[in-house]
A and B are shown apart, each in its own frame.
Chain A
Amino acid sequence: MAETKEIQAKEKQEVPVPAEQTKPGPVFTPAVDIFETEKEITLLADLPGVKSDELNIDLRDNVLTLTGDVTPWEGAEEEDLLIEYEIGRYFRQFTLSEVIDQDKIDAQLNDGVLRLTLPKIEKATPRKISVKAG
């Protein structure tokens, strides 16, 4: 088997959010993979600790907004011994250049990873235009 590389520890990236928060606390930007096929755009986002009912996906005017609220999962009476990461909300926004078929958007959240499928509207899929000789 090929030698697999080791994952490097990465700090969660804190982001300034455009709107002021009603709840205080840090806001982090989740790591994402985005890829495209002819038919759809797929977005994978690491959202550890976010439950499906705490995740908000909003698409309007070609702006896709992901907001993940996190209910702290740590016992309140516990004493910190070593803290290497903080718990906070997740926020990330993307501008989409393609027209998305809003009715067919599919979102799945498994083990803290969101898989969001954004199908392109039929019109946006490439068409072949035959050129006739005049």
Chain B
Amino acid sequence: MIFRRPFYSPTWGLRNPFEELDRMRRQLDGMFGGWERRPSRVLGAGVFPLINLKEDGDKYSVRAELPGLKAEDINISVTGNNLSISGEREIASEGETVRYHRREREAGSFSRVIALPGEVDADKVEATHVNGILTVVIPKAEATKPKQITVR
């Protein structure tokens, strides 16, 4: 089990600072016609699956690319404000007689815990797996939801 805490402080912007630089470089590349191909990006993330975490008013969404997995192969649990995703990706054997030219797809187990930046409502977590994309929607706890305050 590998823990990653991308959130050091709930008030500080959670974006990866290099991400912003990379975005800027992408824009510059576009301006100059991209005559200098940049090497592939290096991110800090080293744990499979790579995730995108987003939020809107009352919920967090965690999305991961998990092609070739069935919904029942993925285990998701929420403890406190930690979301854990684990499972195993199997690639079926194609028999003894086949000759492989390329084998780039990986099989194996994975386990990852993501610390969510705020309190969540663990009872209402919903997960879907469509076209190889896992989406976990985690509603924020009532106490942390933004509240509209009427000014009188």
Give which listed residue, A35, A77, A84, contacts B43 with CB less than 8 A.
A84
* Number of A-B contacts defined by CB within 8 Å: 156
Q: Which residues of B contact A9 (CB under 8 A)?
A: 45-50
Q: What is the CA–CA distance of A74 and B137 in the complex, to the nearest angstrom? A: 12
Q: Mark B99-117, 1 if CB is under 8 A from A, else 0.
A: 1111111111111000001
Q: Mark A63-90, 1 if CB is under 8 A from B, else 0.
A: 0000000000111011111111100000
Give which listed residue, A37, A51, A77, contacts B131 with CB less than 8 A.
A51
B80 at the interface (CB under 8 A from A): no
Q: Of residues 1 to 47 in A, which have CB atoms within 8 Å of B's CB atoms?
A: 4-11, 13-14, 16, 24, 31-38, 42, 44, 46-47
**A81 and B109 contacting across the interface, CB-CB below 8 Å:** no
Q: What is the CA–CA distance of A75 and B57 in the complex, to the nearest angstrom? A: 12
**A49 and B133 contacting across the interface, CB-CB below 8 Å:** yes
Q: Which residues of B contact A5 (CB under 8 A)?
A: 108-109
A114 nearest in chain B by CB position: B67
Q: What is the CA–CA distance of A75 and B106 in the complex, to the nearest angstrom? A: 29
**B65 and A4 contacting across the interface, CB-CB below 8 Å:** no
**Shortest CB–CB separation between residue B145 and chain A, in angstroms?**
15
Where chain A touches its partner, the secondary structure class is loop
B124 at the interface (CB under 8 A from A): no
Query: Total interface residues on B, using CB and 8 Å?
Result: 58
Q: Which residues of B contact A14 (CB under 8 A)?
A: 40-41
Residues of B within 8 A of A (CB): 6, 14-16, 19, 30, 37, 40-43, 45-56, 60-61, 63, 65-70, 88-89, 91, 94-95, 97-111, 117, 129, 131-133, 135
28 contacts between A and B (CB under 8 A): A4-B109, A7-B89, A7-B109, A9-B49, A10-B106, A11-B42, A11-B50, A33-B104, A33-B105, A35-B94, A36-B101, A37-B95, A49-B65, A73-B135, A74-B54, A74-B63, A78-B55, A78-B56, A79-B56, A81-B60, A82-B51, A82-B53, A83-B16, A85-B50, A111-B68, A112-B68, A112-B132, A113-B67
In the complex, besides A11-B43, A47-B67, A81-B54, 5 extra interface pairs with C-beta distance below 8 angstroms are A7-B106, A33-B91, A35-B99, A83-B52, A112-B66
